[in-house]
Structure formats: structure tokens, C-alpha cells
Structure 1
Amino acid sequence: MMMRLNKFIAHYSTYSRREADKVVQDGYVRVNGEIEENPATQVDEKADVIYVSGKLVSRQEKYTVIVYNKPKGELVTKSDPKGRRTIYDSLSKEFKHYIPVGRLDFASEGVLLLTDASHVATALMESDLERRYKIKIKGEVTSEMEHAMLNGMFIEDATAGGHSHSTITSMEFKPFLGYQIQKNAHNYSTLKVAISEGKNRELRRFFAHFDAEIADLKRISFAEIELNNLPEGKTRFLTRSEYSALFTFLKAEEKLAREMAGNKPKPKLKATFDKAKPAPKPRGDSKANRQGKGKGKGKK
């Protein structure tokens, strides 16, 4: 898989993206034995040999995935120029280099997956796996909303509900995978919805189109992964069955990629993880294991 050099370093080391830019520009990075000073250089994460300050940085074949119960008031980013709190202010030191699988905005909460392997993060982010949310909107759930949830829609001006700095204007919304209205009232309504993407404030833009602002948004599951009574601001490793399902999903994605490379027709993917037989107990996440020494808890 080809990726930018600075992104590769940030994904597979403790450097932030900005720090990765600096070490590259300052001449501390060698790619296949040659000094490389352009952070945007494309590298093959499987084939190229990359050293930073004489230390090998490489893709890990083993991986760990954690679930973080993100509270409101945290940004999903390494750092914020305005000094606002980020998820990495709450995460323990051993997870500082983990990559978030997608984002939840500042005012949203709930299930956020993080991993130490970029290929796992990419596969999950780009998948059509089901994401479930519990939302509270100002106003009633109208028949027009329900029609759009069932059939999808295209909005030429979808800026309402989006981030103020977003360059996205128009947006196509796929039909929701499902929805359940729990309360429908004039002041506030609550419902559970299931969608297959959730990018670029999709839900906030969707309901803003109907002049219904989202007051609360909580992601309650990603595929089959739920909080499982995880307290707010805390993390947990995937369970054995969750790792097993993830392993099956990633294998299917790799097979699909090979078939696509051979120009075979793309099969329809399910919206949830395929069930799989129990895998061996996940290995640990000790520092030694991340460096390829010893065993710990949570590795796959």
C-alpha cells in the first residue's frame, strides 16, 4: 500500500504528523538508504525500508484495536492550535500513536475505535460496516425525514450542519440501513439510526436540511463492537469474538482487493462483520510487543 512518508512515520511511531514533517525536512529520515527530505514522498509500507534517526520504522503485521468511549468536548486529533482538549489528552501514554477509525466531532460522544495499524484503520474507515447512533433532534420527526431516511437523497447545498471550515457543499445521502423513532414530540425527538458511512458530519447535515438541529449525538456501535458498559473517557481492548470477526472481515477485504486487481466483479458486502469461529486468545499490548519483543494483551 502506497502512502505519504509523513503519514507512514506518524502511523508507525510516536511522532505526530507535524513532528514527522519536521524530522523529514531536517534530514533525519532515510528511505532505502537515501536521505529523503520531502514529507509528501510516496512510500510502499510493505516494501520500502525507512529509518528515522537511525531507528527502523516499519509496518506491524500484528495489530491492536481498542474501543474508546469518547466524551463530548474532545477533538479527534493529535493537537489543536486553539488549545482545546483532544482524545490524546485522555488516552494513556501507550495509545498516543494509535490511529482513530474515522472521527466524532467535538460535540459528539460514544464508540471510537483506534488502532496501531494503518491498514486496519483504512479498511474500517472505507468499509460500509454499520454504524449505529442515538440522536436527539430539536423538533419532530417528519414524514419527509422518514422518506429521505428510507430512500436517500441528494442535497445541492448541504453546508448547514457541516463544519464552518469544510469545503464540502453538496452531498449525497445513501438510504439509512435502519431507524427507530423512540420519541416524537414538538420540542425534542429521539431516535436510533443505522448508517454505513457517517463521514463529514453526515447526520448533522442530513437533519439540518429539515431545519432540525441535532442536540445530542452518540455512536452506540461500530459493526458488532459496542461499549459494553465502558465508562465515559475509558478504553478497552476488543473481546476475543470481536477480534475474530474483525480478522474475518479483513481477510474478506484482502480477497476482494485481489479479485478487483484481477478485474473480477465486486460482490455485495454485508453491512456487519461476518461471524467467525473463535480465534486464539489475543496477544497483549505491552511496549515490548509493539517493538516485536515478547507478548502482551490485545495483539492480533
Structure 2
Amino acid sequence: MKKEIEEEQEESLTRLNKFISHNSNYSRREADKLIEEGRITVNNKPVKDLATKVSNKDIVRIGKKVIKEDKNKMYTVIIYNKPKGELVTKNDPQGRKVIYDSLDKKYKHFIPIGRLDYASEGLILLTDSVDVANKLMHSNLERIYKLKVNGPVTSKVEEAMLNGLELKDARVGGHEKSKIKAMNFEPFIAYQIISNNKNFSKIKVAISEGKNRELRRFFGHFGLDILDLKRFEFGGISLNNLPTGKSRYLTKDEYKDLRLFLNGDE
């Protein structure tokens, strides 16, 4: 019983810089600087140890201002720039590489928000909050991709992007083991044809859904295979200059926008 109590107390502890960044306008890096400068007190005692952890019973101050816990903010979201050749899953029976092989061990329990298939690359959001993951996965937030297809973007393709598409058989482009057959595609939010040629074309698209291999099925209906697919943005959160195979925390402005969305104040 004593061991269980100790484990429960340990689980309720939060890294001090995380506590500050999630309950104030300071980023984690800024919180670390405040700690190093001795401007943070915990239970009226100055703290300079960056490894300090606190619970919701501790009184944390920046100067004279008390930082109060907002349970709605106590979550972490990271961005991972997934390379091709990794699966967005915990493990693979075939022994293929998964994103958790590349991510730091401290993210092993994080939940991916949506997926990119083995041959796709780009932005994946992950979080330690089931609630945040569910709300974002089932949202209509804008997802932006750059694609390369093996043929021309015809007027029929453009018409479907503008007006949407309903397919009774959307298996082309889907995974061979997928049980999904019919699929409805909402009109694209926007698209830009970067190049349009007989052999291959490049296009930038913005969609509001994240269905199973949605883009591969959509273009596959028109006989177009997607040769390259990279997601650059999800809900206003962008890869920017994040290198392939690397991850980062959200910025304080990204957290602010995310909280506005989660609180329904878009």
C-alpha cells in the first residue's frame, strides 16, 4: 500500500519548467532561465535546480505572482518531422521502423494526432493527453500538404477538388488490407498547382479532414499515383525549419492558439 501511494505521488509531480510554461505565458526555455536566475520560489523557497518537480499542492511564484494550475492546460504537445520509411504506430509485427524508434524515450507514451503512411513524410503532432488527441483528430482544422503525382492535374481533378467527391469504390490508393470501400471527400479548402506536366505534377493542397489515405484515394480515382506526400501544417502549427527526423515542443504562441481552439474560442 505504501509503495502504491508513493507511486501515485510520483505520477502527480510535474517538471517545474513544464508547470510554468503550461500555466503562464512563459515558454519552457524562458522558464528555465527564470529558474536559473533564482526568480522562482516553491513554497517560499528560491529554486535553481532545473530538475525540480512540483505538485498541485505546491505554491509556485514568479517574483510575487503566484502561478496557479489550470488543469485544462496541463498537457504537452510536440511536433515530429516524420521521414519516409517510418510507421506511425507503437510497434510493427513485420519489424519495420516506427516513429517511437526515433523519438526520445520520454515520448513513448505520447499519442499521435492522426497518421501519415509509411511512404509519406512531414508533420506529426503527438500529445500526452487523450482528450487533446481526440479533439484534434476529429477536428476540421486545416491540414496542408505538398504532393507530387505521376501525371497531369486535369479539369476533372480540379472540379473534384473544388466541389468534393463521392466514391462508392475508393479502394484505389488505399492499403490492401483496408476494409474501407466507399468514401466521401469534402471540397478542398484550397489548392495551388505548382507545376502541371504529362509525366508528373506538383500541387499544394489544404484539406479539413484526415481520413484513411484520403489524398492517395482521391487522386487514385483519377489514375494518379502520389509519388511524394509531405504534410507541412496542421491547424496553423507548421514545420518551419524543423529538420527531418527531429522533434520540438510547441512555442508559447502555438500553445496559446491551441488553448483557444480547445476552449471553443476560435
TM-score normalised according to structure 1 size: 0.64
**Residue in 1 aligned with 2:246?**
234
Q: Do the aligned partners of 1:68 and 1:235 also contact (CA within 8 Å) in 2?
A: yes
Query: For the Cα contact (< 8 Å) 2:216–2:226, is it kept in 1?
Result: yes
Q: Which among 141, 149, 169 is matched to residue 181 of structure 2?
A: 169
Instruction: Provide the rounded CA distance (Å) in 2 between the counterparts of 1:165 and 1:61.
Output: 39
Following superposition, the deviation at residue 198 of structure 1 comes to 2.4
* Map of 1:186 onto structure 2: 198
**Letter of the 1:161 counterpart:** G
Which one-letter code corresponds to 1:185 in the other structure? N
CA distance in 2, matches of 1:232, 1:199: 24
User: % of aligned pairs identical?
Assistant: 60
CA distance in 1 between counterparts of 2:141 and 2:180 reads 23
- Counterpart for residue 33 of structure 2: none
Secondary structure of the residue aligned to 2:106 is helix
Question: What are structure 2's unaligned runs of at least 5 residues?
Answer: 1-10, 12-70
User: Displacement, 1:174?
Assistant: 0.4
Residue 150 of structure 1, aligned match among 162, 177, 180: 162
Structure 1 residue 139 corresponds to structure 2 residue 155: no
Q: Does 2:126 match 1:119?
A: no
* Greater gyration radius: 2
Runs of 4+ off more than 6 Å: none
Deviation at 1:100, TM superposition (A): 0.1
CA distance, structure 1, for counterparts of residue 119 and residue 144 of structure 2: 17
Q: Residue 263 of structure 2 aligns to a residue in which SS?
A: helix
The answer to whether the 8 Å contact 1:176/1:194 transfers is yes
Secondary structure, in 3 states, of the residue corresponding to 2:227?
strand
SS of corresponding position for 2:158 = helix
Instruction: State whether residues 129 and 222 of structure 1, in contact with CA within 8 Å, keep that contact through their aligned partners in structure 2.
Output: yes
CA deviation string 1:102-160 (max 9, x = no partner): 10000000010000000000000000000000000000000000000000010111000
2:64 matches 1:64: no
Q: d(CA) in 2 for partners of 1:143 and 1:61?
A: 46
Which of 185, 189, 202 aligns to 2:214? It is 202
Give me the whole-angstrom Cα distance separating, in 2, the residues matched to 1:151 and 1:125: 23
Alpha-carbon offset, residue 60 of structure 1? 8.6
Structure 2: how far apart are the matches of 1:135 and 1:113?
20
> Does the 8 A contact of 2:137 with 2:210 survive in 1?
no
Amino acid at match of 2:191: Y
Structure 1: which 5+ runs fail to align?
1-11, 13-58, 254-273, 275-300
- Match of 1:34? none
